[in-house]
A and B are shown apart, each in its own frame.
Chain A
Amino acid sequence: KNQVEQSPQSLIILEGKNCTLQCNYTVSPFSNLRWYKQDTGRGPVSLTIMTFSENTKSNGRYTATLDADTKQSSLHITASQLSDSASYICVVSAATGTASKLTFGTGTRLQVTL
Chain B
Amino acid sequence: DGGITQSPKYLFRKEGQNVTLSCEQNLNHDAMYWYRQDPGQGLRLIYYSQIVNDFQKGDIAEGYSVSREKKESFPLTVTSAQKNPTAFYLCASTGSFEKLFFGSGTQLSVL
Contacts and interface: CB of A to CB of B under 8 A. Distances in A.
Nearest to A9: B40
29 contacts: A41-B88, A41-B105, A42-B1, A43-B4, A43-B6, A43-B90, A43-B92, A43-B104, A44-B43, A44-B100, A45-B2, A46-B100, A46-B101, A49-B98, A49-B99, A89-B42, A89-B43, A93-B98, A98-B50, A98-B98, A99-B48, A99-B94, A99-B100, A100-B33, A100-B48, A100-B58, A102-B100, A103-B42, A107-B42
A104 B43 contact: yes
B45 interface: yes
A98 B58 CA distance: 12
A99 B98 contact: yes
A4 B41 CA distance: 11
A104 B48 CA distance: 16
Contacts, number: 63
Interface residues of A, number: 23
A45 B102 contact: yes
Interface in B89-111: 90, 92, 94, 97-105, 107
Across the A-B interface, the 8 shortest Cβ-Cβ residue pairs = A43-B102, A104-B42, A104-B43, A106-B42, A44-B102, A43-B104, A99-B94, A100-B48
Interface of A: 4, 32, 34, 36, 41-46, 49, 89, 93, 97-100, 102-107
